[in-house]
Chain A
Amino acid sequence: MIHTFKGGVHPNYMKAPEIPVSVITPPQQVVIPMAQHIGAPNKPLVAKGDYVKMGQKIGENPAPVSAPVHASVSGKVLAVEPRPHPLGDMIMSVVIENDFQDTPDFMEPLNAEQLKDPDAILARIRAAGVVGMGGAMFPTAFKIRGGIGKVDKLVINGAECEPYLNGDHLTMLNYPEQLLKGIELVRIASGVDKAYYGIEVNKKDAIDLLNSLHPEKYGIEIVPEAVKYPQGAEKMQVYAVTGRQVKPGGLPSGVGANVVSTRTCYAVYQACYEGRPVIERIVTVAGSALAKPVNGLTRVGTPFGYLAEQCGGFVKDPRKIVLGGPMMGICATSFDAPTIKGTAGVLFFTEEEDRHVDEPQCIRCGKCITVCPMKLEPVFMYMYYSKGDFENMEKYHITDCFECGSCSFNCPARMPLTHAFKTAKLMFQAKAAKEKAAAEAAAAKEASK
C-alpha cells in the first residue's frame, strides 16, 4: 500500500540520481560559520594562527539547544571574523587555510555496550554536532531527548520530495547498511521498538535494496509513499505513515511522533561507529546555469562560487543561488557564502527558471485551495493580507501555513502567495511581541502602585 496525504503538487522533479557521487576537492580556504543550527550560536574555540585538525571541535555553546561545529579540513586558522552566511547576514566564522593533509582528529568510535545505551548515543550525537540535515538544522540530540517517553512512533524521512535533490537517495544506495544502523541508533536513543522509514516510490531501487537487507533486524519498517510534494514535510510525513494529524500550532511529538531525516541518521551512524563529526555531506549542485548537475560530496564551509567552478563552471550567468530544493529553498546573496550542514543542494538558476510576473492578477481559480496540504484557503488569506485584516487572517489560519510553496507553485497567475504568508506570520509575531510588552508594562505599572 502506498501512503500519502491530501493535496500537494507535482513539480518537474529534475532529479539525477544516476549521476554517481563525486568528491568535491576542498577549497584553499574553508569558512565555517558558528551558527549552523537553530538555537544558541557557538563561541569560537580557536584563534587566528592556531593549527586545527580535520574533525577538531572549533566552536561550542553549552546551551541545551545548540550543536558544536568542527573543522572540515586541517590547516591554519586564518581569521575568526564575521563572514557572509548562506542564510544572509554576516555571522562569526572560522576561516581555515587548507593544508590538504586532512590530518584527522576524530572521536573514538562507541564500543558495543555504548551502542546500546541511549545516553551514550545522545551524548555522541551532540558531540558530533548532528543537526536536522533535511534543512531545518534543529539540534538532533535535543529533539530526540525531548521526545523520550512521549514519542511512540519514530518516523524516518526518506521522501526527498524536493526537486533536484539526490543526496538522500544516493545515501540509501551507497551506504544502505550504515544507514539502517544509523536509524537503529536513533531508534534506541528515542526509546522506541520500531522506526518507520517513509520513502517515495520514485526511489524503488533504494526501497528494494533496503528491504533486501532485512530492515526488521534493526527494528525498521520501510513505508512506500506516493511521489508528491511536500511528502517530506514533517506533518505530511507523520500523517502518511501513522495516520495521526499534528495539531494546529503543535509539534509532531504532540501526537507521539518524531521525524528524523535520512542524512541525519547517516550522520548519527558516522558519529557513533566511526567517531566522525558532521563535516561533509552530499550536495546536489544543479540549475540551468550549469552544463549538468553534480552530486558532490562536499565539505562544510565550501564557498558557492568555488563549488560552481568545481562543478564545471557556468555556461550561463546565474540569476539566483538557491539553497536546498527550489520549493522551500531560500536565495543566497553572496558567492562567498559557504555550504553548511543543512545545505542539501545549491542550485544556480538563470531566467530560464524564472516565472516572475510584474503585476500578477488573481483569477480566483482556486487551484491554491486544492493543493494546500494544510487544507488552508490561500486565495482568501492573500486577500485579507492585502487589506491588512488581521482578524480575518487569523480566522483563515494564516499562521498554520508552513510555507511549503505549493500554492504559489500551482498559481497560474503567479501570485506571491507564500511570500505574503511568510510576511504575515512575521507581522503576527511582531504584534504578539508588542502586545506582550504592553501587558508587561501595564503589569509593572500596576505593581509599582
Chain B
Amino acid sequence: MSEKKERIVLDVAYQPQVRTNIDTRRLMLTVILSLLPAVIWSVIQFGFHSLVVMLSSMASAVFFEWGYRKLMHKTASIDDCSAALTGLLLALTLPPTAPWWLPVIGTFFAIVVVKQLYGGIGKNFLNPALAGRAFLLASYALILGTYAVPRALSGVVDGVTMATPLSYLYGEGTMPAYFSLKSMFLGTIPGAMGEVSTLLLVIGGLYLILRKVISWRIPVSFLGTVALLTLIFGHAGMNRFDWMLYNLLSGGLVLAAFFMATDYATSPVTLNGQLLYGFGCGVITVLIRYFGGYPEGSTYAVLIMNLCAWAIDKGFHRHQFGVTEEDIEAEKAAKKAAKEAAK
C-alpha cells in the first residue's frame, strides 16, 4: 500500500468535483437530433437532392471550421459539433432546388467570417446560419426565390416550381385552395427545405424545451408577438384568425423562433431579456411582412435582434438573492427623496 501511495500523484481542483454529463457537444447533437424529423420530411417531399444539399452544407461547414483553426494554429473545435449544426441550419433555410455548391459559399461566410473571425464558438454576435443565408439571399436572389413543387402537390400543379403561400399572403392573387391551413401545418407546401412542416418543427422545438436545451421564453414571446400583432392588424378580405394562423404557419417563422433565435451566443442570457428579445423579433418580423419589399421577415428580424442582445442583457441585470421587493421599493423611494432634496 505504501509503495502504491508513493506512486500516486494526487490532483487538486477547486469545487465542484463533479459536473453534469451534458456538454457542448451533447447539446449540439441534441439540436441536430431534434431537426431530424424535418430533415426526413424534406427528403420525402423534395427528393434525394435535398439530402445532398444538406450534407454538402454540413461537410463544408465542418471543413471550414477545421481549416481555419488549423491555419491559425488554434485548438481544434469540430468535436463540439457546432459547425455541423450551423451547416444543417443553413441548408434548412435554402430551397430544395439549390445547387450543391450554394451552401458551400454560405457556410464559408457563416463559419469563417461570422463565427471564427470573432473568436469562434460563443464569441460571434450574429447567428452564423442566418447571416450565411442573408449573404446568399443578396448574392443569389433568383436561386433563393425559386421553390420546387413538393411530392404531395405533384399532379395538382403543373411544372416543377411554384410560388409559396407567403407570396400569396402578401402579394397579388388569392390563396389557392391547396394551401389550406392543414396542409401548411403538416407541410405539404413548397418552401425552404426545413421550414415547410410546422408540426415537425414544433415537435423538435418542444423536445429541446423539455430537454432544457433551450428555454421557452424566446420562442413563446417571438411567436406570441407575431400572433398578437397579426390578429390586431388583420388583413383586408380575410378572417382575422385565419390571417393570424396563415402568418404563423408560413415562411421560416417557426424554424426561426425555435432554432435560430434561440442560438446561445447571439441571444440574451438574462431571463427577462429573453422575453424582450423574442418580442423584438416578433415586432420586426411583422413590420417587414407588412411594409417590407420582401415577404419573409424572420431572417432579418433575428439578425437585427442579435445586434441588440448585448444591450438587452445589460439592461436586465437582476438583483441578487436577499434583495427583496421592499428593499427595491425603499431604494427607489430614497433616490426620489434625494432628488427632491436636491431641487
Contacts and interface: CB of A to CB of B under 8 A. Distances in A.
B18 A163 contact: yes
Interface stretch (A46-54, A118-126, A242-250): A242-250
A104 to B, nearest CB: 31
B112 to A, nearest CB: 17
Interface string B321-338: 111100000000000000
Interface in B100-138: 120-122
Contacts of A333: 10, 12
Given A363-B121, A365-B27, A320 B18 contact: no
B99 to A, nearest CB: 32
A418 B16 contact: yes
Contacts of B10: 318-321, 331-335
10 contacts: A245-B321, A248-B323, A313-B1, A317-B7, A318-B10, A335-B10, A365-B264, A400-B322, A403-B15, A406-B16
A261 to B, nearest CB: 18
Given A366-B270, A375-B321, A412-B27, 17 more contacts: A12-B18, A235-B322, A320-B12, A320-B13, A328-B16, A330-B12, A332-B10, A335-B8, A361-B24, A362-B122, A363-B24, A363-B27, A363-B82, A370-B215, A374-B320, A408-B15, A418-B16
A361 B15 contact: no
B269 A413 contact: no
Contacts of B70: none
Interface residues of B, number: 46
Most chain B Cβ neighbours within 10 Å, of A403, A412, A414: A412
B121 A361 contact: yes
A245 B20 CA distance: 28
A374 B321 contact: yes
Interface in B45-84: 75, 77, 80, 82
Interface in B235-276: 264-265, 268-271
Most chain B Cβ neighbours within 10 Å, of A364, A400, A409: A364
Contacts of B22: 412
B101 to A, nearest CB: 30
A12 B10 CA distance: 24
Given A359-B75, A374-B321, A418 B11 contact: no
A245 B324 contact: yes
B322 A422 contact: no
Contacts of B21: 355
Interface string A389-406: 000000111001001011
Contacts of B13: 320, 331, 356, 419
Interface in B11-41: 11-24, 26-27
A248 B321 CA distance: 7
Interface string A195-218: 000000000000000000000000
A11 B121 CA distance: 26
B19 A379 contact: no
B343 interface: no
A364 B77 contact: no
Contacts of B12: 320, 330-331, 333
A237 to B, nearest CB: 13
